[in-house]
Amino acid sequence: MLSFLVPLSCGVVVTTAAWDAEGRTARVTARHRHRIEATTVGAVERAVSNRSAGASRTVAPAVWAYPAAHRHSDTISVPFGTPAGRTVTIWVDDAGRESQRPSSEAQPTLTAAAAGVGSFSMLALATGTVVRLRLFLVETRSLTQWEHEWEAVAPRWSGRLRREQGPGDA
């Protein structure tokens, strides 16, 4: 019972801590992300992503203003076939540079749940292994003791000779 309750309580603690940390990080990040409209000023082209081999995305040069008086221009990700002059929604940071969108409200919960389940699973596996090993050692010791005691009792009980006894020995 204890080998289940310890991992369970540790899993709950890890889940709570991860949920607090992830939620706090997501709230801070969301305060510094702004959804704005950018206008494409050139043709769409394919660009190979550096993150993973073979993955490609479509990009186009665009302009936007954020904060209000600061104009920015850069190449941004756009849907395939976006013509020049089309407005596209992008996320920018406080300085107006393109950035990733803030994480969804569900993301901290999913991350915390994964951390909790992972820690519970690892601890449950470890405690289960320790319990299994302990039971194996106890059983081995018990069987060894039983064999030793049986060697002393078996000749008298069964009437068979001991290995060291010869015929006529009593």
Per the domain annotation, does 49 fall within a domain? yes
CA atoms of 136 and 78, how far apart (whole Å): 62
13 is in which domain, residue-wise? 1-33+102-128
pLDDT at 89: 92
**Cβ–Cβ under 8 Å, residues 62 and 87:** no
pLDDT at 87: 92
Per the domain annotation, does 134 fall within a domain? no
pTM here?
A: 0.59
- The domain tally of the chain equals 2
Q: Are residues 91 and 49 in the same domain?
A: yes
| Three-state SS at 61 | strand
How high is the mean pLDDT in each 10-residue block of the chain (170 residues)? 88 94 90 92 76 70 88 88 89 89 88 94 94 95 93 77 58
The CATH number of the domain holding residue 38 is 2.40.50
| Three-state SS at 92 | strand
